[in-house]
Amino acid sequence: MNILRLATVFPMRAAIREENRYRTKVAGVANSTLVGADMAREMYLLNAQFNVNMRHGYNIRTGLVLNTQGANQHVQTMITLNNDVTGSATQGSASNQPRYMSDADVGFNVCTFDGVDDFLRSFDTAMLQNVNEGSIIAIAKDTNRAAGDASHNVAYVQNNNFSHRLAVQTRGASAENFRAIGRRLDNDQATTFATTPSAAGWHFLAGIADYQNGVLRGNFDGVMTSDANFLLAAGGTSSGSTSNTPSTEIVLGAQTTAPVSRLPGSLSAVYIFQSVLTQEYINACIDIHKRYGFGIP
């Protein structure tokens, strides 16, 4: 077998293994199993093509554990795409589990948070610890952008000081906007990018942290922002690796420490990377999710 054939066969074999793993993850969820397998394979190949390090991927159609409460189903766990049990986002308290319910805009069930006390969390304490690069992607819909908490956290990695290491929000500082927010060192000032959403409904949000070069950028519905500098606590710019301290948690649908920040709305996918994402990667990622009907404008 020549080198070219090896380069072609091995990624495909790996992709087939991924497909077979994800066929079983959504067993019992109507009409989702094959779609989930296809999406898992496409995301695997996309990440390999762009050589990005996806640490965790939570997708409503590729990995779920559901809990039935009366006539309703709730999301107990979103299983991470890398099949790392410790990285899965889960909620053991039935009263805090988001609903698994149909969304008219996309035509399938999504993870819906009440904006009061619903959230999922992962205790991957090494997430974005002592790294040079990090990114978060979320596909979400906020159904009450004008009210509720001052900020609506969709997904965030919390640092050792219980602050944002990196996060994306659908509302921030009591304003209707999309935000990417983060800091490099635990004691740094927060750096924020905000933009006014063009419409209600589903949107693609990304926070991209090039810690090594000291810049944060956002990408909202495929439009990349300019760069903003990470800021030291005492002023001045901050660059280099993140603090070598553990992250306390990854949270979907809320910020669980003060100031509490809860999402009244739904999410269908969250991906967390230890890489800086390019516009080309984001374009391809958006294309995959549009083809599977995720409602991105």
Domain ranges of the chain: 53-291
Measure Cα distances from 286 to 36, 43, 221, 278 in Å.
16, 11, 8, 12
pLDDT at 37 over 90: no
How many residues in the chain?
297
What are the backbone angles phi and psi of residue 156, rounded to the nearest 5°? Answer: -155, 150
DSSP element (H, E) containing 281 = helix 279-291
**Helices 33-50/279-291 angle, 10° precision:** 170
pLDDT of residue 14: 54
Strand, helix or coil for residue 164:
strand
* β-pair partners for 121: 90, 251
Residue with tokens 């809320």: 254
Separation CA 82–CA 84 (nearest Å): 5
Separation CA 41–CA 283 (nearest Å): 17
Strand, helix or coil for residue 33:
helix
Nearest to 16 by CA among 35, 54, 44: 44
Q: Does domain 53-291 have CATH number 3.40.50.2300?
A: no
pLDDT of residue 5: 38
**Any idea which of 72-86, 238-252, 254-268 has the lowest mean pLDDT?**
72-86
Separation CA 237–CA 214 (nearest Å): 7
Measure Cα distances from 42 to 131, 233, 288 in Å.
26, 41, 8
Separation CA 88–CA 79 (nearest Å): 5
Confidence of residue 64 (pLDDT cuts 50, 70, 90): confident
Confidence of residue 22 (pLDDT cuts 50, 70, 90): very low
pLDDT at 12 over 80: no
Radius of gyration of the chain (CA): 18
8 A C-beta contact, residue 135 and residue 207: yes
Q: Is the whole-model pTM more than 0.75?
A: yes
8 A C-beta contact, residue 156 and residue 166: yes
